[in-house]
Each structure stands twice: as C-alpha cells, then as structure tokens.
Amino acid sequence: MTDYDSNPFADPEAANPFQDPSVQQATSNSSRGLEEFNPFEERNSQTTTAKKTTPTVVPPTKPAVMEPSPPPYSPSAAQPAPTPGQEDLLRRQEELERKAAELQRREQQMRSAQYSTRVNNWPPLPSFCPMQPCFYQDFAVDIPLEFQRIVKIGYYIWITYVTLLFCNVIVSFMLLLSGTESTGGVVFGLSILFVIIWTPCSFVCWYRPVYKAFRSDSSFSFFMFFFVFGVQFLCTVVQAIGIDQWGSCGWINGFTTIGEAAGAFPTAVGVMMLIMGLLFTLLAIGMAVYLTRVHGLYRSTGASFQKAQEEFARGVVTNPGVQSAAKDAGRAAATGAADAAVGGVSASLSPQSMNKM
C-alpha cells in the first residue's frame, strides 16, 4: 500500500521521488549544461586560434644546377694549411701521377712504333748525298719530359765544341801564315787531326751515352759518359792553355805570338789566339757545370755501379758477336780435346805399345 493508503495525513510531497535533493541537483546540472551549451563557440575558438598561428615560411629553393667543385688538395680560405705529413703525401701522389702519365706516353709510343719504323735521321744529310744518316735522334719521343732539357744542353755543348775545333783550324792556319812561330805547321796539322778524330769520337763516346742513359735509365751508359766526358773536359782545359805543338791556340802561345809580333797581322793573329783561349776556357767551365748536373740527376735515378756491371754482363752475353766467338772457341776446344783423345787411344794401340805389354 502507498503512503496515501497508510497515512492520509502525510505530506503529499514526501513520497515524490523527484523531490530528492540528489535528483534535483543532477537534473539542475544537466539542464544548466544544456542551456549554456553553444555549438558555435568551439568553432569560433578554433578559428581564432588558427588566425593567431604564425605561418610557416618555406625557404626559397635553389635551381638544380651543379656548381663546380674546387680542385682537390687546393688550399682555400675554408681549408686549413696542409701539415708536413700531408705535403709529403701530396708530393708522392704528384710524383706517381707524373710517372703514370710518362708510362702512358711510353705505351702509346710503343704502340705507334709497331706501325711505324724508326728511320735514322742524324746527321741530317740531303737525299742526294751518297752517305745516309747513322743515328736516330728525337728528344720528344725518346727522352722523358723532365730530362729533355739536360740532354739538349749536352747536344749544344757538343755542337759548340765542334765549332771551336773548326775555328781552331782557321786560327792555326793564320798562325802558319804569320810566320811568328816555327811550330805553326805542327799546330795547324794537329788541329786538322783533332777535327777529324774528336768530332765523331765525342759524339759517339760521350754524347750518345748520355742520350741513351736518360732514354733507358742505363747505369752503364752513365758510367761511360762520366769517364769519357771527364777526359774531354781535361782535353778542353789543355786546349785553353795553348801549349806549343799541342795543336791548339790558347793563352800561352797567344801571348807568345803577341810578344814576338813584328807587324799588325801577327798581332791580330795573337789576339785571335787569345780569344780562342777564352772560348775554350768558357767551354771548359760549361762542361764542368754540365758534368755536375748530370751527376746529380744520376744520383736521383737510383743508378749504381752494380747495376752498370749487370748491364755490361748482360750486354756481353746477349751480343751476337760475343756469342759467335764463344761458340767458335768452344767448338775449337772440343775439337782439340777429341783429337787429343783419339791420339792417345791410337798411341796406346800402336804395335810398340803392344810389344811392351
């Protein structure tokens, strides 16, 4: 039964469930939330927030163009200076690159040489001359780039020496005509002999060895050049001195001619002899400097006396003339030994030896 049935005098609102304080508080909160709810308030706040945000600035992009990179190992303002160890490595790398380029050049020359024959071109004689060139000479082809200058200087020294020999013949002939010295005929004759002998011998004995030494890095050619060129230097010094009856006009016989001159022509001849002595002296100084420079390059190439001996022995063994001479000597020795053996056998089988037995 309800409260109305049980107690007619009870408060009618006491049994109303909606009058419960907790229920009323819940209903009042929910109604207040619905009344205060604004669906456009959040959108406006989001729009305001979006308006207040700072736009992102995109940096301008560069065109896709490749910029040239700086060369390797080039010091710049941004790069520090190389240390001593790095400089040594860079120097070695440059040396290796230079050697690689030189090897490539040599390989190209060898490939081209397979299709073209090396024709002798020195001395440069005309085509109608019955004699033909005896040597092949081409600095750009045979000599490495770093040694071409030193070899050309040697060639110019040889040309200068030969020119002075011919000038010595002319001055000696004028000395003979002047009649100031009784030995003028001897000097003139020896000067001609020196031109005939020293011109080809100097070319073959010291210029060609230095050419071959730098062409193929030959230790034997270096040693041959040093020996013969040293003798050539001493001979040039003697020619500059101008000793009587030694076939050259120089300082001593020049002053003697001027002292004994009895006219303008002998005096002029004496002056020309002194000029020859000066030219021979300058040539001797140039030879000494050239010998020193070649020796310095020889030390830097790693050549040695042992390598020269090995090259000489290899050249002797592979020489066709030496091989044929050795074969002939061996054949003669074998023939002699066979004849001796046959003679000994025949002597042992002779009747006299049989009777003794």
Q: Determine contact, residues 109/141, Cβ cutoff 8 Å.
A: yes
Structure tokens at 233: 């230097």
Residue 124 is which amino acid?
P
Q: Determine contact, residues 159/302, Cβ cutoff 8 Å.
A: no
**274 contact partners, CB below 8 Å, separation of at least 6:** 251, 254, 255, 258
Residue 141 is which amino acid?
V
pLDDT of 265 over the 90 cut: no
Distance between CA 82 and CA 88 in Å, rounded? 10
Query: In degrees, to the nearest 5, what angle opens at C-alpha 313 toward C-alphas 309 and 315?
Result: 115
Give the pLDDT score at 51. 47
Structure tokens at 38: 């604004």
Q: Determine contact, residues 142/215, Cβ cutoff 8 Å.
A: yes
**290 contact partners, CB below 8 Å, separation of at least 6:** 153, 154, 157
pLDDT band at residue 346 under the 50/70/90 scheme: low
Distance between CA 26 and CA 30 in Å, rounded? 6
b/e map 186-208, b = 16+ CB within 10 Å: bbbebbbebeeebeeebbebbbb
pLDDT of 331 over the 90 cut: no
* Alpha carbon 52 to chain centroid, angstroms: 73
Could you write out the DSSP letters of every residue in 208-226?
HHHHHHHHHT-HHHHHHHH
pLDDT band at residue 14 under the 50/70/90 scheme: low
Q: What is the DSSP letter of 292?
A: H
Q: Determine contact, residues 240/161, Cβ cutoff 8 Å.
A: no
pLDDT of 292 over the 70 cut: yes
| More confident position, 89 or 16 | 89
**Mean pLDDT, to the nearest integer, of 295-310?**
69
pLDDT band at residue 313 under the 50/70/90 scheme: low
* Size of the chain, expressed as the number of residues it contains: 357
Distance between CA 228 and CA 245 in Å, rounded? 24
Structure tokens at 63: 């065109």
Structure tokens at 62: 């560069």
pLDDT band at residue 341 under the 50/70/90 scheme: low
Distance between CA 264 and CA 36 in Å, rounded? 142
Q: What is the DSSP letter of 206?
A: I
Closest CA to 207 of 166, 158, 242, 170: 158
* pLDDT mean across residues, the chain: 75
Distance between CA 266 and CA 273 in Å, rounded? 10
Give the pLDDT score at 316. 47
Distance between CA 349 and CA 357 in Å, rounded? 11
Query: In degrees, to the nearest 5, what angle opens at C-alpha 30 toward C-alphas 24 and 32?
Result: 100
pLDDT band at residue 64 under the 50/70/90 scheme: very low
Structure tokens at 105: 């050049």
